[in-house]
Amino acid sequence: MRSRTQKIADMAIFIALGVVLNLCSFQSFGTYLGRISMVYLFCYLSGFILGPWQGFAVAFIADLIPAVFVPQGPYSVIISVSNATMALIAGCYGRYTNWKRIYKLLATACTTFVVCTLTLTVIGEVNSVLIIPVGEYQTVISVYNSLPYTLAKVVIGKGWGVKEPYFQVLIAKAIQQPLWIVLNSILVYAIYSRLQPVLRRGGYVAKEERKNAQGNYPSRYDGVVIAGMPAAGNAPSDFDGVVIGK
């Protein structure tokens, strides 16, 4: 169990990492990809490593700081809540389920895609575009000029006659974000698996994740020999040398 001071230090490190990743994001060369996004990677790892509530706080603050001090486009506080909710969901699956690591990650990816990407983030983006100053509108247009947004406008805007911006952005996210979720999830699995020995030694891993491969908690009797070598003159026993547990 980590102390309160250690937990605060961990949060500070993760917030700094999140701010750096946010500031280092940039527009990709392809019209499909839009901005290079590592938000899922950061939020999932924050939740898995720090837990649901610490991860929530870290993801929220790490998104809020650059948006306030170094804005790079339209912003809504709902987007920060969306990122924080990603970490919260990851932390809940990581701490409170006994599933294999890959199933926890798959459940996290699917849940956050629906709850965060297609709901909270879409609401936040639409809200930010509606309230942005007129003089900065060209910047907004360039942000939403990638293929998924253009396709959504053509398909449901002109083709279906749906003018509501929420549904246009939702369709665009549904086209664009699955690729980023898959790529980020692969990185999360690789990094998180590699970090397991370090996390166990550092006391980060919850007791649910410290179970052995059979799903049993370690026992104080593990490694205890219940019968030694037979004494001279005694007949050998079927239990001689049997070890309980590992």
Q: Which amino acid is at 28?
A: S
| Rg value, the chain, Cα | 24
Q: Which residues contact 61 (CB under 8 A, 6 or more apart)?
A: 15, 18
Residue 243 confidence class, pLDDT cut points 50, 70, 90: very low
Whole-prediction pTM: 0.73
CA triple 19-195-177, angle to 5 deg? 50
pLDDT in tens, 126-164: 777 655 444 444 444 444 545 455 555 545 555 455 556
pLDDT, residue 81, reads 95
Query: Between 239 and 72, whose confidence is greater?
Result: 72
> Domains in the chain and their CATH numbers?
4-135+177-209 (1.10.1760.20)
Dump pLDDT digits (tens) for 20-51. Answer: 888 776 555 444 455 667 889 999 999 999 99
Partners of 244 in the beta sheet?
224
Question: Encoding tokens for residue 129?
Answer: 């575009």
Summarize pLDDT for 92-118 with one digit per residue, the tens.
999 999 999 999 999 999 999 999 999
- 82 vs 125, higher pLDDT: 82
Q: Who wins on pLDDT, 137 or 170?
A: 170
| Residues 64-99: tens digit of each pLDDT | 998 888 776 667 889 999 999 999 999 999 999 999
Of 223 and 83, the structure prediction assigns the larger pLDDT to 83
pLDDT computed for residue 138 by the predictor:
43
- HEC string of 92-156 equals HHHHHCCCCHHHHHHHHHHHHHHHHHHHHHHHHHHHHHHHCCHHHHHHHHHHCCCHHHHHHHHHH
